[in-house]
Amino acid sequence: MTGTKTNERPGVRAKLGDARFSAYKAREVLDLIRGKGVGEARTILQFCDRGAAEPIMKLLDSAVANAANNNDIPPEELYVGACYADEGATLKRWRPRARGRATRIRKRTCHITIIVSRYSGSEMDELRARAESKGRVTPDARTDRARRVARSRGASAGDAAAEDEVVETPAEDAAAEEAAVEEAAADEAEAEVVEDEATAAEAAQDAADPQDADGGEAADDEAEAEAVSTADTADTAETEEKN
């Protein structure tokens, strides 16, 4: 007999050891999801009324999480490649019966393994086309939510980078504005120094030639007095001619 052994199948696996029910009961549930997509298999397990369905569904979620976290495989690209249950240890208990006899009770356990594999490119294209024809984007609400969470994380990372850029730009503008203010203050101080020097030079010149300054002022006063007297004389002559 040729073929790939169960423990050599490619894919990501998860194991549940010493489950407290028989391998026969586990196999009846595993037969329902073997070869199904992750979304469809989870839906089947969710509505299955057997007691083994709940732990098997948790084990399937663990295998999908291992594939997503360790191998970066999206959940919608996975299917149940293999699933099997092996016999575990049997717990022996006794029940008293009539006439002092005892009956053995066998509490069976099992080890469950689920292997999720990745669809090929052609299989994924076919599945997407089939889902679009039925009006469904994703086969399961959980996979859709995982996609939305990944998209939101990427958007938040992009917003954080944009905020960093926005923070850097005002900092540069503030530095440039501060430099301009400092330069204007320096120019104003230099102008004040030049004005003070000019004022000091004029004061020194006035102190050096006080007589020239007084003589000039006296000459100005005499010229103004002569102009006033000339105007008075002209007015007087004009009045006499009229009379």
Q: Is 145 domain-assigned?
A: no
Contacts of the segment 150-158: beta carbons below 8 A, 24+ positions apart: none
Q: Is 104 domain-assigned?
A: yes
- Scanning 72-209, the segments in alpha helix (DSSP H) are 121-133, 141-208
User: How far apart are the C-alpha atoms of 39 and 112, rounded to whole Å?
Assistant: 20
Q: Give the model confidence (pLDDT) of 157-186 as tens digits.
A: 777 666 665 544 555 666 677 777 777 777
Domain of residue 20, residue span: 9-139
Q: Give the model confidence (pLDDT) of 6-63 as tens digits.
A: 666 778 999 999 999 999 999 999 999 999 999 999 999 999 999 999 999 999 999 9
- What's the pLDDT score for residue 22? 94
Answer whether 112's CB lies under 8 Å from 16's CB: yes
Higher pLDDT, 184 or 106: 106
- What's the pLDDT score for residue 7? 62
Q: Is 177 domain-assigned?
A: no
**CATH code, domain carrying 25:** 3.90.470.10
What pairs with residue 111 in β-bridges? 86
pLDDT at 225 over 50: yes
pTM (2 d.p.): 0.53
Helix (H, G, I), strand (E, B) or coil at 94: strand
Q: Is 225 domain-assigned?
A: no
Q: Is 127 domain-assigned?
A: yes
User: How far apart are the C-alpha atoms of 16 and 62, rounded to whole Å?
Assistant: 10
Q: Give the model confidence (pLDDT) of 68-91 as tens digits.
A: 998 888 888 899 999 999 999 999
Q: Is 227 domain-assigned?
A: no
Percent of the chain past pLDDT 90, that is, above it, reads: 39
Q: Is 208 domain-assigned?
A: no
Residues 6+ positions from 52 with CB-CB distance below 8 Å:
19, 21, 25, 26, 28, 29
Q: Is 209 domain-assigned?
A: no
The number of distinct structural domains making up the chain is 1
Residues 6+ positions from 87 with CB-CB distance below 8 Å:
23, 108, 109, 110, 111
Closest CA to 35 of 54, 3, 7, 11: 11
